[in-house]
Amino acid sequence: MTAVIQTTPMDRTSRAFMADLYDTYGRLMEAVAWRCCADPVLREDVIQESLLRLLPKAALLRSLETRALQCYLAVTIRNTAASLLRDQARHQAVLVPWDGRVEEVTDQTATPEGQLLSREEWDDLEALWRQLPQGDRTILAGRYLHGRTSRELAQELGCTDNCVRMRLTRARRRAAGMLANAE
């Protein structure tokens, strides 16, 4: 989580304060996110988005007493989760699910063995696709099947470019791990 803090431009004292804030209250933030959403990927996104929303308020956060700061963090997590869940529901309504069928372009020069191997690879990928969480399928399909940029996906999903890039990285890692385990 501190990668969000480290990569966001801000002065050194604010960065140190935010890193310390996450180190001190990270478990509280995770517990509140846990109560708000069941999806572990979305929980991570909620915490990251919350940290991004808290960054400009570092001066205010420094002035709060411990209990008020804890409440402020909890409310920020809950509100961010509600926003992301609302956006996710809105975007799920407009997504077209992929039925797993692939329009095959037959290579006339390929051997029958090569065509059979290609079909087996597609079957493996189709099985992998079904095992991926819905969030991973959505982000991977948007990027690689529909050719959208990170900025376009961020606008569609209602999050930041950094969030989309992180989701893509996680989704690719999970898919690669599943593919490696299948082999």
What dotted CATH number matches 2-94? 1.10.1740
Q: How far apart, in whole angstroms, are the C-alpha atoms of residue 10 and residue 19?
A: 12
Domain locations in the chain as residue ranges: 2-94, 112-182
Q: Is the pLDDT of residue 105 over 50?
A: no
Q: How confident is the model over 176-182, as a mean pLDDT?
A: 78
Answer whether 77's CB lies under 8 Å from 46's CB.
yes
Separation between Cα atoms, residue 43 and residue 88, nearest integer Å = 13
Residue 124's pLDDT band, with cuts at 50, 70 and 90, is confident
Instruction: Supply the pLDDT for residue 109.
Output: 45
Distance of CA 108 to the CA centre of its chain: 40
pTM for this predicted structure: 0.50
pLDDT digits (tens, 9 = 90+) for 33-91: 988 888 888 888 898 889 888 888 888 898 999 999 999 999 999 999 888 888 777 76
Question: Which fold does the domain 112-182 belong to in CATH?
Answer: Arc Repressor Mutant, subunit A (1.10.10)
Supply the pLDDT for residue 112: 53
